[in-house]
Amino acid sequence: MKVGDTFPPIQVTITYSDGSTPVNLTGGSVRFLMQTLDGVTSIAQTATIVSASDGIVKYDWVAGDTDTEGEYHAEFEATLSTGKIVSAPTNGYIDVHILRQME
């Protein structure tokens, strides 16, 4: 991504630790979290459940989200209908690289 870009959205499937069985998100909610590599939170916003039964979630960037170039870690945090919390990806993070725009 480049500074100021708001497309494409980030979309993932939240799965169990086997990496292939989707977590059913029916009745749950999800947030998108993004931090600088040194742990400073830059985004903590509600994300969209695209398909609850298939565990598919996405975050649509909004103005301001990508205004600062740099390297970031991101993840989705789902709260299931049972109150249990699961994060995706289960191993590591989503790497987000925001590059400067050419002038």
**54: which residues sit within 8 A by CB, 6+ positions away?**
13, 22
Q: What is the pTM of this model?
A: 0.91
What sign does the CA torsion over 74, 93, 22, 13 have? positive
CATH 1.10.357 fits 10-98, yes or no: no
E strands, the chain, are 10-13, 29-36, 41-46, 48-51, 56-59, 70-79, 85-88, 94-98
Q: pLDDT tens digits, the chain, 103 residues: what are they?
A: 999 999 999 999 999 888 889 999 999 999 999 999 998 899 999 999 999 999 999 999 999 999 999 999 999 999 999 999 999 998 899 999 999 998 8
